Structure 1
Amino acid sequence: MKALLLENIHPLAESILREAGIEVETRSGALDEAELVDALQGVDLVGIRSKTEITAEVLAQAPSVQAIGAFCIGTNQIALSDAAAKGIVAFNAPFSNTRSVVELVIAEIIVMARRLTEKDGALHQGVWDKNATGAHEIRGRKLGIVGYGNIGSQLSVVAEMLGLQVFFYDTDDKLALGNAHRCDSLEELLQTAEVITLHVDGRSGNAGFFGAEQFAMMRPRSLFLNLSRGFVVDYDSLRENLESGHIAGASVDVFPTEPKRRGDAFESPLQGIPNVILTPHIGGSTEEAQEDIGRFVATKLRDFVHRGTTTLSVNLPSLTMEARPGGRRISHLHLNTPGVLAKVNGILADHGVNIEGQLLNTKGEVGYVVTDVADLPHEALAQLKSMPETIRLRVID
């Protein structure tokens, strides 16, 4: 098998895949659609981060691809439903960089509350501006977290340890940790908290959900942070609120359009505004987080190749398979319609194949059954492949 790893994925990922007998090619930057199609010819596994988009058109022209690893949290850059329809499994790293993002949020809140960027800039220009005007402690302040998932909930715990009062809003019913208070609406949260930080996912329904109306609801002189997705915020509106003084400071790590390669030009309406921190999508970019992401996602790809395991897949049914010495393992992705399992077992029985182990799970329109057998006649394999319900069939020896 051959793997292609893009966007400076940690070298540990390459090592894990090579040790598993997989040929690995690495490239430093992201690829556009045409470049990606060319690069994926003959590739079985592809690893990306946030800037490479694997669209339906790319998948249609990359028939050899069997698995996609998103070495990051988000998967909105992947056409997941199209991948599932082709039997291509996708994995991400939902936990590995959580702590890194949380620490950056805390650091940026402190920097904005103390207006450190302005003090730093003045000293670099030779101006000694020692005064306490506009500088505040964060202890006792009210932090509002929009999105109480893996990052939001851990931020809640760390922030409370530093003396912040934590409030949160989530569309799902989430258990409040520590002394955090759940708000019944986004409006309630915005009118309560003095610092608002966004940690929502990349679903299309979140596009543009935070704009002029939401900024108007925020308390005067509040702080605002977005380390989730660039397309969820109207940055022109944020600029207006910063210039008017309604928002006292902002930290932004993600943007609607981001350069594909390090060193490329960047533009934003937020450039040049005092007490605004702009970072190049580095929330999870610590050496510790990138190493753990490399290990986590590469291990998922390896276990899919050698065992058929799809645990924590974001688009296909989840099955956890143990290693099995000897025999053969049939990995069968199929349309989730009644009677498929009976057909599979009927074909095996007709050819005298004894089933030594079998697991089945379904997700949406796709079913996944893994069957362990001692031997598999060529005729039985051909019949399984020719089933009208079969999406993709693979035999693991």
Structure 2
Amino acid sequence: MNKILVTDGMEKNAINLLKNMGFDVEEKFYEEVELKDKIKEIDIIVVRSATKIRKNIIDEAIKTKRLKMIIRGGVGLDNIDVDFAKANGIQVRNTPMASTNAVAELVLCEMLVLARKVKIANIKLQNGIWDKKNLKGNEIMGKTLGLVGYGKIAKNIADKANKLGMNILYTDVQECIENKEGFKFTDLDEILRESDYITIHTPLTNDTRNLFDYDKFKIMKDTAFIINCARGGIIVEEDLLRAIDNNEIAGAALDCFEDEPMPMKELLINPKVSVTPHIGGSTIEAQTRIGNEIVNIIEEYLAKSMVKVL
């Protein structure tokens, strides 16, 4: 019987489907030291962002050669040493479509939170201050949205924002040939100069780590906002706070941080920074889709394995 370890949680119906398929499914989070031993006795591991599958973990799996697949419930794979796993015959899969709409809706939500000064209004009301006259916000209709990275999530956001009357700029390694809406492809500098809202949609790589530093923030409009629901580490957090404190930019919304689950306190308490604990894909609907996609991946793997045996 193939053994599956689910370390960071998974939708219950999907777990039951795997069990009904005959898999031995264990749901438990293991710290790194414990995981080094556990990884030797499982065939498939399903993780989200909390569990890190680095080279030292994969080295232990290689000793028994049982581990055949690592599945990331979500999009980003920066918590997995993908190349090393594949080089040692271990498949690495993710669920790129399942959380697309959920993340796009959160980004749109954060744009509205920033535009209407919702966090500042909440803080004032909680402190007994009715400050309606000083909470005049902005409408996003007619404003310019700049997308850094133009994958599935960014395209979803662009479509929603365009329908709400926003102008769309985007940058990526190359222009999107399927850009039927005619959104403007440009470079990062123009996005920094022209956008009222900038939202990040790149993986965390050597090229994107610390991409947004103080020099970048100084190029932005002093009325502009930046939103990161992609990965922590792309924004230099100290520089972000400095830019906000110096009125170089108007504010930010962050769903991911350099240090998770203990982000920099100064970010959390800043009234011009809207913060959430990496909940981009945390909707009931997205988790159901993620679970179903994981089951499909495992079914596909099982079918191919049976063909090889035959």
Cα distance between partner residues in 1 of 2:303 and 2:71: 16
Give yes or no for the alignment of 1:158 onto 2:136.
no
- Whichever structure has more strand as a proportion of its residues is 1
Structure 1 residue aligned with 2:217: 215
Give yes or no for the alignment of 1:35 onto 2:37.
no
**Counterpart contact for 1:83–1:89, Cα < 8 Å:** yes
Amino acid at match of 2:298: L
User: 1:301-320 counterparts in 2 under 5 A?
Assistant: 301-308=298-305
Cα distance between partner residues in 2 of 1:177 and 1:125: 48
> What are the ranges of 5 or more consecutive residues in structure 1 without an aligned counterpart?
260-264, 309-327, 331-394
Structure 2 residue aligned with 1:349: none
TM-score (normalizing by structure 2): 0.94
- Whichever structure has more helix as a proportion of its residues is 2
User: 1:168-317 counterparts in 2 under 5 A?
Assistant: 168-175=170-177, 176-183=179-186, 185-259=187-261, 266-308=263-305
Cα distance between partner residues in 1 of 2:263 and 2:34: 22
Structure 1 residue aligned with 2:43: 44
Structure 2 residue aligned with 1:58: 57
Alpha-carbon shift at residue 275 of structure 1 (Å):
2.2
Amino acid at match of 2:307: R
**Counterpart contact for 2:175–2:185, Cα < 8 Å:** no
Amino acid at match of 2:173: T
**Counterpart contact for 1:32–1:53, Cα < 8 Å:** no
Structure 1 residue aligned with 2:89: 87
**Counterpart contact for 1:156–1:177, Cα < 8 Å:** no
Structure 2 residue aligned with 1:319: none
Cα distance between partner residues in 1 of 2:119 and 2:94: 34
Cα distance between partner residues in 1 of 2:162 and 2:10: 33
Amino acid at match of 2:105: E
Give yes or no for the alignment of 1:138 onto 2:151.
no
Cα distance between partner residues in 1 of 2:265 and 2:130: 29
The SS at the match of 1:230 is coil
User: Residue by residue, what CA displacement relative to the aligned partner does 1:319-364 show, whole Å, maximum 9, x if unpaired?
Assistant: xxxxxxxxx632xxxxxxxxxxxxxxxxxxxxxxxxxxxxxxxxxx
**Counterpart contact for 2:101–2:153, Cα < 8 Å:** yes
Alpha-carbon shift at residue 174 of structure 1 (Å):
1.4
Structure 2 residue aligned with 1:18: 19
Alpha-carbon shift at residue 133 of structure 1 (Å):
4.9
Cα distance between partner residues in 2 of 1:214 and 1:298: 42
**Counterpart contact for 1:211–1:238, Cα < 8 Å:** yes
**Counterpart contact for 1:69–1:298, Cα < 8 Å:** no
Q: Which 4+ runs in 1 deviate beyond 3 A?
A: 265-269
Amino acid at match of 2:14: A
User: Residue by residue, what CA displacement relative to the aligned partner does 1:42-87 show, whole Å, maximum 9, x if unpaired?
Assistant: 1001000012111111111113111111001011111111111221
Alpha-carbon shift at residue 177 of structure 1 (Å):
4.4
Amino acid at match of 1:4: L
**Counterpart contact for 1:235–1:269, Cα < 8 Å:** no
Structure 2 residue aligned with 1:67: 69
Amino acid at match of 1:295: N
Cα distance between partner residues in 2 of 1:198 and 1:177: 22
TM-score (normalizing by structure 1): 0.74
Alpha-carbon shift at residue 243 of structure 1 (Å):
0.7
Alpha-carbon shift at residue 267 of structure 1 (Å):
3.4
**Counterpart contact for 1:69–1:301, Cα < 8 Å:** no
Alpha-carbon shift at residue 255 of structure 1 (Å):
0.9
Alpha-carbon shift at residue 205 of structure 1 (Å):
2.4
| Percent of aligned pairs sharing the same letter | 30
User: Residue by residue, what CA displacement relative to the aligned partner does 1:81-106 show, whole Å, maximum 9, x if unpaired?
Assistant: 11112211111011111101111111
Alpha-carbon shift at residue 116 of structure 1 (Å):
1.1
Alpha-carbon shift at residue 231 of structure 1 (Å):
1.1
**Counterpart contact for 1:70–1:93, Cα < 8 Å:** yes
**Counterpart contact for 1:252–1:277, Cα < 8 Å:** yes
Cα distance between partner residues in 1 of 2:265 and 2:82: 29
Structure 2 residue aligned with 1:110: 112
Amino acid at match of 1:99: N
Cα distance between partner residues in 2 of 1:266 and 1:275: 16
Alpha-carbon shift at residue 21 of structure 1 (Å):
1.1
Count of residue pairs brought into register by the alignment: 305
Alpha-carbon shift at residue 134 of structure 1 (Å):
4.2
Give yes or no for the alignment of 1:329 onto 2:303.
no
Alpha-carbon shift at residue 173 of structure 1 (Å):
2.4
Cα distance between partner residues in 2 of 1:40 and 1:65: 7
**Counterpart contact for 2:15–2:25, Cα < 8 Å:** yes
**Counterpart contact for 1:215–1:241, Cα < 8 Å:** yes
Alpha-carbon shift at residue 132 of structure 1 (Å):
5.6
Cα distance between partner residues in 2 of 1:291 and 1:111: 27
Amino acid at match of 2:202: V
Bigger CA drift: 197-206 or 95-104?
A: 197-206
